[in-house]
Chains A and B, each alone.
Chain A
Amino acid sequence: MTAWVIKIVAACLLNVAAALLLSPLCEGLMRKLRAALHSRIGPPITQPYWDLLKLLGKEDLRSSGGFAYAAMPAITLGSVLLLAALVPMGAAAPMAFAGDLIVVLYVATMSSVLIMLVGFASASPYASIGSSREMMMLLSVEPILAVALCVGAFKAKTLALGGIVNWQVQNGPSISMAIAGVAFFLALQAVAGKLPFDIAEADQEIMGGSLVEQSGPRLALFRWAMWVKQFVLAFLLVEVFFPWPHFAAPLVDLAAMVVKVLIVLTLVAVVDVVNPRLRIDQAMGYFMRVGVSSLAALAFAVIGK
């Protein structure tokens, strides 16, 4: 019994630690790639760690009072770390027993909602515009994530993520899962707040949007949460939609998974570099079309393709 608990706790810690410690490294790699495409040298790959250290060492300033407001950055980071424990990252999800697909979706949405709330609570016109944009993005992107994952659930006839992954590994690629995977990837771009969808932050328009009033340790935690989220969702994308080739050897599979996650993040960075920012109405129109395509994936799943 205790051995079982220890095993789960250890697996959770492993996932959480990996997400916490490696996500800034991924961000650093993405920045380096971005710089290369800009004909720049760019910051060192370790820069995100230094950014976090610097921000964490600063004074904690708040533009609003209240316990909830004060705790918001920690809760946001906590929510994405919880997500890390719910998602398979190169091995079975450590807390798979705690919840299925539906829980994962809820937890994945939590951080966006919290950032939105912090913007509305900041009493700044830029933050409230940013938050209302965040809300519109959430409403147009979240259904795509849900439909894409539901395609998997429908095919595998289970809501458990582990079950979907296993089904995928055994049954190989299918049209419906490929379309759903692409839709998920496009949504990931928005969820990670990358161009052309960094509309809710839009430095040049609303000076960082929801997070404009956040600084020091609070900003560090929000940043960290966003990096963790992009890292974990990249794993989710790869695990659920592109789990092959599967070697049945845990270490080799883990290595393959990491390589694939890096490929996904590279693509995210490249799309970010070659696009200007869309306007919120244009982005919503775009995601409406992506949403319709993801429904097509569901239709393919129904006819068994």
Chain B
Amino acid sequence: MSTVDQATVARVKEAVAAHGNGHLLSVTQPHPDTLRFAIDKKAVRAVVAALVEQLQARFMISVGTDERSLTGEFAISHLFSLDREHLYVLIESLVSEKDPEIESITEIIPGANWAEREFQDAIGVRPEGHPDPRRLLLADDWPEGTYPLRRDFPYNYRPPAAENVRPQMLEPPKGASVVPIGPFFPVLEEPAYWRMFVEGETVVGCDLRIFYNHRGIEKLGDSVLTYNEIPYLAERICGICGFIHSTCYCQAVEKAAGIEVPRRARYIRTIMLELERIHSHLLWLGIAGHIIGFETVLMQTWRIREPVMWLCEEISGNRKTYGMNTIGGLRRDLPDEIKPKLIEILAGVEKESVAVRNAIVGDLTLQARTKGVGGLTNEWAKKICVVGPPARASGVAIDARIDHPYAAYDELPPRIATEEAGDTWARVLVRVTELLESIRLVREALAAMPAGPICAEIKQEIPADRVGVSVVEAPRGEAIHMVLTGGDNRPYRWRVRAPTYPNLQAMPAMVAGANIADVPITLGSLDPCFSCTERLETVDRRTSKVRIYSHAELLELSRKARSGGAR
């Protein structure tokens, strides 16, 4: 557990009180590292400006909650992090249904752009003075005045489809033409519609429409599922960092309910989280190579990645989506007998990863394609509140594992890699360094793992109206889950923010003035994960028949198909 300095708490309280100008209603500290301020909505902008300018608070996310059944009004919360001080600050204001407006903070924090548009779409509270209040979350044919996250909105309601609707897109500047990238495009694994405004081959601006994959996961969490069912849904938020989301959710509930997770479970969580980082970074390296036409990198890194997937299967029974997390700890232990095997495989992965790193770091053509490409300045990285490797590559030394330690990171602190250049090459270097660091962390966690239970016994019901904020450093950056507990064995509100959410907002700054050929690798260098951002998944359920194929059989089958047999 990180310790929060009492002087810092006093300083934050003082600053909020001073700028709240008499509109500060209450201060609570629901958890030692969380300060919760209730302020009148008239003072939001002044307080937020003070937090950002005086205390260098970093904006994380906004949460809109329909609290009409509790307080009769909507609640809008802005969540901030004081990274060096290990403190979360929550600024909450109530907004009445009759006058659903609140001061926009996007002018102060450009990175709050999407967050405010999201609560506008979901709850129906208008951010007043927002520079670009277009629709973000909802489909283009979603009827006006229907707000899906209000509690009187049924989770299974389907509005009638409308004809002939199209996204409201910005017009290109005069003299520029539009090169569409998406909604479906070779380098986008998931749908996103970028409109690049180009003059010749130079990008002069861009516009984006995403959220084609919105699944309503948060809605399911507070209307259908129970506390202990949500980890399985949370794990399916993302196909790559599923364990990160289930851990982050469980931690938020554990924090809200005051549940102490056993050390052994914390260590195993750390191991799984780092394994996810290893296979995710290897996956990313391959995709980055593919984007610039370097298929050899793709083929080799994915080959190296395979043993890591095998490791995960050995531990959890699955290559991905382990289903191990539950509130209070884990459902599945990591047997000590398999440790030597794990360490042996890990050594092989490390050897090959080092070879890949050496090959990449020395490759001049690769540098020609990535150095000085997609630059994100330190100033913009802070303004957009970018997280993860893109932030660290621009000299913003933030990492949730250090700033808000969770799992076993208090005993196993990672050495974080930062670069100053802010270009795609810097992001490559940061990720390659992190890859090797994660291998070290897994090895040390395996060695230091204590014996003991893997799950806390929970005797009491989780009390209502508690708040829990939790972060996990995903491979792509910091994931945030916030839970407001409810009375009926499920959260009153469950808020998820994936790291791609802030990172994608940095794209316009990164591609301005770029060559169109550099746009795909610039986008790729963010390691975007749209499904996390949009919180949706698809399940292939063509056949309900179960047949188990061995590895050899599958290979045999695929080779047969390749040589002309039926697929």
Complex Cα gap A228–B412 (Å): 60
Residue from A199, A203, A273 within 8 A of B186 (CB atoms)? A203
Specify which chain B residues have a CB less than 8 angstroms from the CB of A132 in the assembled complex: 201
Complex Cα gap A277–B297 (Å): 13
> Once the chains bind, are A204 and B520 in contact (CB under 8 Å)?
yes
> Once the chains bind, are B516 and A204 in contact (CB under 8 Å)?
no
> Once the chains bind, are A278 and B563 in contact (CB under 8 Å)?
no
> Once the chains bind, are A279 and B186 in contact (CB under 8 Å)?
no
Residue from B177, B178, B559 within 8 A of A41 (CB atoms)? B559
Complex Cα gap A199–B292 (Å): 10
> Once the chains bind, are A125 and B563 in contact (CB under 8 Å)?
no
We find that the number of chain A residues with CB closer than 8 angstroms to chain B is: 32
Q: How distant is B219 from chain A, measured CB to nearest CB, in Å?
A: 36
Specify which chain A residues have a CB less than 8 angstroms from the CB of B294 in the assembled complex: 195, 275-277
Q: How distant is B122 from chain A, measured CB to nearest CB, in Å?
A: 34
Chain-A contact segment, one of B156-164, B365-373, B434-442: B365-373
> Once the chains bind, are A276 and B293 in contact (CB under 8 Å)?
yes
A10, CB-defined interface residue at 8 Å:
no
B295, CB-defined interface residue at 8 Å:
yes
* B298-326 near A? 1/0 per residue, CB < 8 Å: 01100100000000000000000000000
Q: How distant is A182 from chain B, measured CB to nearest CB, in Å?
A: 18
B562, CB-defined interface residue at 8 Å:
yes
Residue from B289, B303, B365 within 8 A of A39 (CB atoms)? B303
Residue from B177, B292, B516 within 8 A of A276 (CB atoms)? B292
> Once the chains bind, are B369 and A278 in contact (CB under 8 Å)?
yes
Specify which chain A residues have a CB less than 8 angstroms from the CB of B254 in the assembled complex: none
Q: How distant is B50 from chain A, measured CB to nearest CB, in Å?
A: 45
> Once the chains bind, are B366 and A199 in contact (CB under 8 Å)?
no
Specify which chain B residues have a CB less than 8 angstroms from the CB of A198 in the assembled complex: 293
A60, CB-defined interface residue at 8 Å:
no
> Once the chains bind, are A202 and B293 in contact (CB under 8 Å)?
yes
Specify which chain A residues have a CB less than 8 angstroms from the CB of B220 in the assembled complex: none
- Given A125-B180, A204-B187, A279:B518 Cβ within 8 A: yes
- Given A39-B300, A125-B177, A196-B365, A277:B293 Cβ within 8 A: yes
Q: How distant is B206 from chain A, measured CB to nearest CB, in Å?
A: 14
Specify which chain A residues have a CB less than 8 angstroms from the CB of B293 in the assembled complex: 195-196, 198, 202-204, 276-277
Complex Cα gap A279–B201 (Å): 11
Residue from A125, A206, A280 within 8 A of B178 (CB atoms)? A125
Q: How distant is A215 from chain B, measured CB to nearest CB, in Å?
A: 16
Report the tally of A-B residue pairs with Cβ distances under 8 A.
81
- Given A273-B296, A279-B369, A282-B368, A126:B179 Cβ within 8 A: yes
> Once the chains bind, are A276 and B365 in contact (CB under 8 Å)?
yes
> Once the chains bind, are A204 and B300 in contact (CB under 8 Å)?
no
Q: How distant is A269 from chain B, measured CB to nearest CB, in Å?
A: 12
We find that the number of chain B residues with CB closer than 8 angstroms to chain A is: 34
> Once the chains bind, are B179 and A125 in contact (CB under 8 Å)?
yes
Complex Cα gap A198–B293 (Å): 9
Specify which chain A residues have a CB less than 8 angstroms from the CB of B296 in the assembled complex: 37-38, 273-274
B519, CB-defined interface residue at 8 Å:
yes
Q: How distant is A121 from chain B, measured CB to nearest CB, in Å?
A: 17
> Once the chains bind, are A205 and B368 in contact (CB under 8 Å)?
no
> Once the chains bind, are B365 and A205 in contact (CB under 8 Å)?
no
Specify which chain A residues have a CB less than 8 angstroms from the CB of B289 in the assembled complex: 276
Residue from B292, B299, B520, B563 within 8 A of A38 (CB atoms)? B299
* B182-213 near A? 1/0 per residue, CB < 8 Å: 00011100000000000001000000000000
A281, CB-defined interface residue at 8 Å:
yes
Q: How distant is A47 from chain B, measured CB to nearest CB, in Å?
A: 9
Specify which chain B residues have a CB less than 8 angstroms from the CB of A275 in the assembled complex: 294, 365
Complex Cα gap A273–B180 (Å): 29
Complex Cα gap A56–B293 (Å): 28
Complex Cα gap A221–B359 (Å): 39
Complex Cα gap A202–B519 (Å): 12
Closest to A273 in B: B296
Closest to B559 in A: A41
- Given A205-B517, A280-B201, A129:B303 Cβ within 8 A: no
Complex Cα gap A125–B516 (Å): 12
Complex Cα gap A274–B290 (Å): 12
B515, CB-defined interface residue at 8 Å:
yes
B291, CB-defined interface residue at 8 Å:
yes
Specify which chain B residues have a CB less than 8 angstroms from the CB of A205 in the assembled complex: 187, 516-517, 519-520
> Once the chains bind, are B518 and A38 in contact (CB under 8 Å)?
no
Complex Cα gap A276–B297 (Å): 9
> Once the chains bind, are B365 and A43 in contact (CB under 8 Å)?
no
Q: How distant is A199 from chain B, measured CB to nearest CB, in Å?
A: 7
Closest to B179 in A: A125
- Given A39-B300, A125-B180, A204:B291 Cβ within 8 A: yes
Q: How distant is A254 from chain B, measured CB to nearest CB, in Å?
A: 32
> Once the chains bind, are A38 and B300 in contact (CB under 8 Å)?
yes
Closest to A42 in B: B562
Specify which chain A residues have a CB less than 8 angstroms from the CB of B299 in the assembled complex: 38-40
Using a CB-CB cutoff of 8 Å, which residues 79-135 of chain A contact chain B? 125-126, 129, 132
Specify which chain B residues have a CB less than 8 angstroms from the CB of A39 in the assembled complex: 299-300, 303
Complex Cα gap A195–B185 (Å): 21
Specify which chain A residues have a CB less than 8 angstroms from the CB of B186 in the assembled complex: 203-204, 207
Specify which chain B residues have a CB less than 8 angstroms from the CB of A273 in the assembled complex: 295-296
* B484-528 near A? 1/0 per residue, CB < 8 Å: 000000000000000000000000000000011111100000000
A44, CB-defined interface residue at 8 Å:
yes
Complex Cα gap A303–B563 (Å): 57
Specify which chain A residues have a CB less than 8 angstroms from the CB of B179 in the assembled complex: 125-126, 129
Q: How distant is A132 from chain B, measured CB to nearest CB, in Å?
A: 8
Ordered by A's residue number, 11 sampled pairs between the chains whose C-beta atoms are within 8 Å are A125-B179, A129-B516, A195-B294, A196-B293, A202-B293, A205-B519, A274-B296, A275-B365, A276-B363, A279-B368, A281-B515
Please report B residues at the A interface, Cβ cutoff 8 Å: 177-180, 185-187, 201, 289-297, 299-300, 303, 363, 365-366, 368-369, 515-520, 559, 562-563
Besides A203-B293, A278-B365, A282-B368, 7 other A-B contacts (C-beta < 8 A): A38-B299, A196-B365, A205-B520, A206-B516, A275-B365, A276-B297, A279-B515
Please report A residues at the B interface, Cβ cutoff 8 Å: 34, 37-41, 43-44, 125-126, 129, 132, 195-196, 198-199, 202-207, 273-282
Nearest 6 pairs between A and B by C-beta? Answer: A277-B293, A276-B294, A38-B299, A276-B292, A204-B187, A279-B517
